[in-house]
Each structure stands twice: as structure tokens, then as C-alpha cells.
Structure 1
Amino acid sequence: MIEGPDGLVLIDTGLGTQDIMRPKHRIPGPILNTVLGLALDQKETAITQVRALGLHPRDVRHIVLTHLDFDHAGGLADFPEAQVHVFTDELHNFLNSANPIDMIRYSQEQIAHQPDWEVHELEGERWMEFEAVRAMTVGSSDILLVPLAGHTRGHCGVAIRAGDGWILHSGDALFDLNELDPEGRHLPVGLRTFENMLQYDREKRIQNVERLRELKKAHGDSIHFICSHDPDGFEADAADGIKEFASTRIGRAEML
């Protein structure tokens, strides 16, 4: 969660309150549920944690989705007034795909409330080593949408300006921050198998891992990297690292 100039911004939502109450209807893949070890706990939902910080859910004005997998988009219905930012390719694939893998990764129930979509085309300016990068909102360059297709068709990284540097949330383009190691350390066998099973485009995914690795090598002193499923990185950021990094420019940042 980012405290932006016109309200709060969430990067993904995790599971939502309705997912916890009705998992059989809203979580499409029982196998994925087991593999991911999902915590079906209301206290873990973004809306509960926003309230615990003394903030109102209506203050969440924007949600930027790295992608629409059910474990990233389940909480959309908890913030029905927020504008939801997503790449065109991701939303199109979500709404139209008949691919068996997509049937277990996407949950149509999670968007039954008809979110207020802000759909972004794959076009924009160059940022670091990446092309077609665009701002979340017109007139601001503090939050950028970075194409990182591969895990899903329209997967999106999110770059957040923090003082003279950046925070880059790579979503599921990385499953473990050790993948950024200059020697190219590989995922553990279980995670690698899981990623190979789910990936939309293996070639694009591997290419983007390489680009992120090069980005870390060239600009690691000014970019703080985040990914969605690395517990060690999450714990370190939740402690104090992300707040220290972000406080100079965009206000408070919290890891929920």
C-alpha cells in the first residue's frame, strides 16, 4: 500500500473477505490452494489491515494489478469504488481465455461486482531497460506500469518513485529474489515446477527474468526489488526497509 497524493494505492489485493467466506465458489483451483498454502484468515485481508492502520477503505482510490490470478485479485470487491489498473492483454485473456490453465488461475466470481477498470495499452516511454512503460495516471510519473509478460499474458510490474530511487514490484515475474543473483541462481525444484506449469509464455518469462537481473546489476543501488511470493523478502520489507526507502518522496509505504 502506498500513500499517494490523492489517496491510497494498493499493488494487488491478495485474497478478499468473500474469498475467505466462500472459498469453494471464488477460489477456482483446489490444487493451487494446496500448493500455495493459502491462509484463509480474515485478519490477512487487505481491507482488514487497512482498517487496522486507522484508515478507511474508501481512501483506497487506485488498485494496480500485477495480474489477475485469484490470489492477487480476490480483494477487488472489498474496494468497489477504487479504480483498477490493468494491462489490456491481461483483462482480455481473463475474460475470454478457454485455456485449461487459465480456468484454474482466474476466478470470474472475483469481478462479479464489475470493477471500475482503467485499461492500459502496451505503449509508452522507455524506463531503464524496459520499453512501453506508462504512468498509472496522466500527469504523474511516480507510479509506472512496466510490461513483464510471461507468467501471464499481460503481467505487469509496478515501479514506484522513492526519492532519487525506485521500488520495483515485479509481481510473479520472480518467485524468489534470489533469481536476481548475478550468477543466475535457479528456483527450488518445487517452485520451478509450479512456475513451469502456470507460465503463459516461457520464452518471454525467462527473457524478463534476465532483464530484471541486468537491471539489478546496473541499478541495484537505486532500485529496491519486491516480488509477491518471497517470504524472506516480505518479512524484511515489512519490518522497516520499505518505509525507510519510500519515505523521502511518496509518503508512507506499508507491506500488507
Structure 2
Amino acid sequence: MEHNKVRINVFHTGQVYVDPSVPRGEKNPFAFTGLFRDKSKRLWLPVSAYLIEHPQGLVLVDTGWNTLVRTEEKKHLGYASISDRARLPEGEAVTEQMKRLGYHPSDLEYVLLSHMDLDHTSGLSMVKEAKHIMCSEEEWKDTKKFPIRYKNYWKETEIERFIYEPSHYGPVNRSYDLFGDESILLISTPGHSHGIFTVQVRNSGKFVLLIGDVGYMRASWEKQILPGIVADKKAEVKSLEWVKKMSEQEDCVEILANHDQEVVPHVIEL
């Protein structure tokens, strides 16, 4: 189904300070922790979130940092503060950027969590008034199975879980159709985590892919550069190959990775 207009607002909701092995994995499987490594080489990467203005409802993809990191950074990050840092300039919180567009968290039909890592879920408490907050069932199970990886920012938030359905979309042919018209598809792209999804937004014969942390930059899919944190290497390679194939389609408008330093905030209209 084609809609009159779909608008994607690309936000930067602060930055995360990480070891260079996070966007570019290396042989040392623990390099991403940054422990015993040269801190002068660390990188500040943007933390992106996306507000989709869709005729069937307002959709937020990921939440970025909570305003608590401005005053309680170490407390909010918990054990993750050993290896990571966060910063959130005034006006960049997802709710502050929504307010400038005239929206309140209660206006959100959906909050979609591409996966449950802390820089994607930190701001959950700020948008808990949304009608639906969702992640995949597989990702939810991993938060229980691997608690050392995930910081529980959702303990006071009701998270709905969806189950991927067989489809002809994505590297493993599984997806979830948010509105039932294929205008917003949550496409299973495992590797970085088991339940992670890419959001495909399609309208007017064109599409945009929001790939979360499937890759950290354009070179990730163009040169097969895997992220430093990988739950399933074989699946990650397959997912990046699929992203590259999609990037070569004539109807592809943009592919956006959450932490790409080359991406600046902008608006996409389909």
C-alpha cells in the first residue's frame, strides 16, 4: 500500500565513547571492552534514533541516551562505565527533539527497539507513555540468557514481544509487518545479537533501511567489516551481505547505521 507521505527524522541523541574495535572488530574478542588498551585512541560515535511520521501512527526506532547521563553518568551506565562513556548535549534527548516537532511521548504509537543494548534502550523511561514498546522475542530471551551484556532499563516499562514470521525479506527470510501493509517491516538481521532487526520503511516505490548495529558505517557492508560485538559471526556476515545487496537496488534511498560518524541529522521524505 502506498501512502501520501512518510517522513523519517534522523536524530543524534548524544554520543558514546568506545574502543575502536567496537565499530571495527579484531581478533582479540575482548578488545571491545577497552580494558588494558590505549584510551587516547577511543572514538566518540553518534547514538542515533529515528522518528517516523507515518499516516498510521508515529513510530520511534530506539531511544538513545537518557537525560540522566548528564548528571549521573556512571550510576546510569553501571558496570558499562568501566569501558564506555556517554554524553548528551542539551536539546539532543529524543524527547527534547520530539518536543520541537510538536510531539509528546504519549503521541507515539510504537517504540521499536532494534535490540536491547544499553545505548538503544537507555531512554526507555522517558518514552514509557507510548502505546506499544516492542522488541523481538529472540532478543528478549537473550536479555535473560546473557544478563552481563544487557543493562535493564525496562524494569518499569511494559515490553511487548513479537515473533518473526516466514517471509521473502532479509538474510534469513523472516520479518514482522508492523502495519500489515509492508510499509514498515522489521526484518531479522542476526549477528550482532540474535534478535536484532533492521527497519525497512517503504513508500512511493522507494525504501530506506535503518540497520541499527548490523554495521557501524557504510564500510561495514561495502567491505564486510564486522562489529566488535558479535553473537553469531556466520549470521553477521550473511546479514552484512544482504545489506550490501539491498544498497545496490535502484529503489534504495538510504541505508543508515546507528553509529555512523558520516551521517548528520536530517529528514527523509518518501
TM tier, smaller: 0.7 to 0.9
What is the Cα deviation at residue 223 of structure 1?
A: 4.3
User: Given that residues 47 and 57 in structure 1 are in contact (C-alpha distance below 8 angstroms), is that contact kept between their aligned partners in structure 2?
Assistant: yes
- What is the distance in 2 between the residues matched to 1:47 and 1:145? 23
Aligned length: 218
TM score, norm. by length of structure 1:
0.77
Deviation at 1:87, TM superposition (A): 0.8
Q: 1:231 aligns with which of 245, 250, 261?
A: 261
Q: How far apart are 1:88 and its partner, in Å?
A: 0.4
Residue 19 (structure 1) shift: 4.1
- Which of 196, 203, 207 is residue 162 of structure 1 equivalent to? 203
Which of the pair is proportionally richer in helix? 1
1:30-49 equivalences in 2 (<5 Å): 30-34=81-85, 38-49=86-97
Q: Which residue of 1 aligns with 2:8?
A: none
Contact 1:57 1:79 in 2 (8 A): yes
Greater Cα offset, 25-34 or 73-82 = 25-34
One-letter amino acid of the counterpart of residue 211, structure 1: W
- Correspondence list, 1:68-79, <5 A: 68-79=116-127
2:213 equivalent among 172, 179, 197: 172
TM-score calculated relative to the size of structure 2: 0.73
Residue 220 of structure 1: how far off its partner (Å): 4.5
Aligned-residue Cα RMSD (Å) equals 2.1
Matching of residues 188-207 of structure 1 within 5 Å = 195-196=227-228, 198-207=229-238
Bigger proportion of residues as strand: 2
Q: What SS is found at the alignment partner of 2:99?
A: helix
Q: What does 1:49-60 correspond to in 2, within 5 Å? A: 49-60=97-108
Instruction: Give the distance between the partners of 1:166 and 1:67, measured in 2 at CA.
Output: 21
Tell me by how many angstroms 1:186 deviates.
5.2
**Mind listing any 5+ residue stretches in structure 2 that lack a counterpart?**
1-50
CA contact (8 A) 1:129 1:215 kept: no
Q: Which has the higher contact order (CA 8 A, sep 6+)?
A: 2
Please list, as runs of the form range in 1=range in 2, the aligned pairs for 1:6-155 lying within 5 A after superposition: 6-28=56-78, 29-34=80-85, 38-82=86-130, 83-94=132-143, 96-98=144-146, 103=148, 105-108=149-152, 110-115=153-158, 117-127=159-169, 131-137=173-179, 139-155=180-196
What displacement does 1:141 show?
2.0
CA change 1:67–1:231 in 2 (3 A) is same
Of 25-34 and 59-68, more deviation after overlay is shown by: 25-34
Residue in structure 1 matched with residue 52 of structure 2 by the alignment: 2
Mapped partners of 1:157, 1:92: distance in 2:
18
Shift of 1:51: 0.8
Distance 1:214 1:7, change over 3 A: closer
Q: Which runs of 5+ in 1 are unaligned?
A: 248-256
By how many angstroms is 1:146 displaced?
Answer: 0.3
SS at match of 1:111: coil
CA distance in 1, matches of 2:108, 2:134: 13
Shift of 1:68: 0.6
1:208-219 to structure 2, matched below 5 A, reads 208-217=239-248, 219=249
